[in-house]
Amino acid sequence: MKLGRSRSAEYGAVKIEPLPEPKDERPAIEDASQAITLWLLADAALQDEQGQPILFQPTAKSVGLPTHFVFDPSKSFLRSRRYAPFNAYRQRRELERAVLSMGSVLHFTCQDEGPAVDVKTLQRLQTQGIGLYRQAGLGRVWINPPILTAENPRNYFSKISSRLRKKPKALQAPEEDLIYRYLAKRTQQFSESNWIEIQIKKWVDELVTLYQSARSLSYTPIGVCPGPTPTQWGQVMDIAKTASTVDELTSKLFEAHGVCKADDPQWTKRIYIEKKSDIDDFRKWLRDDKIRNETRQDLLPQIIARFARLAIDVAREQSTGKEA
């Protein structure tokens, strides 16, 4: 599914899946009570019998409690605010809301030895909320939360902080996480590309030395390539790009029908490598010293293709008489 503009240009791709019902952190109410404490988990818009907002002296009726309960300011904590939410559909602000702020505490006590509030009523208030705009998320409350039952909630916070101080387990991305697999693959490709560039740089530096050796041994004049030409390296590059295995690569390069023929005067031009007397021409150098001795055989076609591309430039400089 796609959302928004420029969907034809592959923008706005989304994945939609149902989420499980969030777990309610508030335990079910099991006992009736004659002292009710409401902890606001969201702003609450209360109003009196005339429909006016209540900000300083909430009544029992405004929160859904029986009228013989009265508000106790000594055990309460109130904060309020006013705001007008913006309606994006109508492109204007709605009516101003006067609300008690989230985090406020409302405490009510029973007067004249009246009956306690039954469990059903308390559970309904906790489930459905209080006040106006509940459809917008306002009015969520926690009735008689454990954190407010004691005079000093420090011990409660100490238990929570001790759990938070525990070192969390390292997160592991799931197997089906496409983003994780994509990033892991890109990281591996970057590492391999880095390694290939380092290896190729060594080969190119050595190739320049081989051309100088071949020019000295064969008395090749300046301006004439003393080894494989740019065209021949181009053929090597084309084969390496299409080869899927190392066997296919070596077959197309060094067999009788291959590019690096045993009787080719350019590939068999004499060279000298110190401590490698058995490597006496370009063909043996590429086959025996580089391809067969390469430790990363899985990356060999990529290495050869990239190296051959740079070897074209080296051979072209030899043909034009420029210093490599």
Question: 54-85, pLDDT tens digit by residue?
Answer: 988 999 999 999 888 999 999 999 999 999 99
Sign of CA dihedral 184, 189, 194, 196: positive
Instruction: Say how far apart CA 60 and CA 71 lie, in whole Å.
Output: 7
Q: So where are the chain's domains?
A: 28-151, 178-320
pTM for the model: 0.45
**Structure-token match 């004659």, residue found:** 34
Q: Is domain 28-151 given the CATH code 2.40.30.110 in the classification?
A: no
Sign of CA dihedral 70, 73, 74, 77: positive
H-helix or E-strand spanning residue 187: helix 178-218
Per the prediction, the chain carries an average pLDDT of 84
pLDDT of residue 157: 58
Give Cα 278 distance to the centre of its chain. Answer: 52
- 192 to 66, 75, 298: CA distances (angstroms): 73, 67, 11
Longest dimension (CA), the chain: 121
Give the SS3 label for residue 182. Answer: helix
Per-residue pLDDT of the chain (324 residues; tens, 9 = 90+): 788 888 777 788 888 888 888 777 787 887 778 889 999 999 999 999 888 999 889 999 999 998 889 999 999 999 999 999 998 888 899 999 999 999 999 999 988 777 888 888 899 999 999 999 999 999 999 998 888 876 666 666 565 556 656 665 655 655 556 666 766 777 766 767 777 788 888 889 989 989 998 988 988 888 888 899 999 999 999 998 888 888 888 888 888 788 898 888 899 889 888 878 788 889 888 888 888 887 777 778 888 888 899 999 999 988 886 654
**Structure-token match 């994780």, residue found:** 180
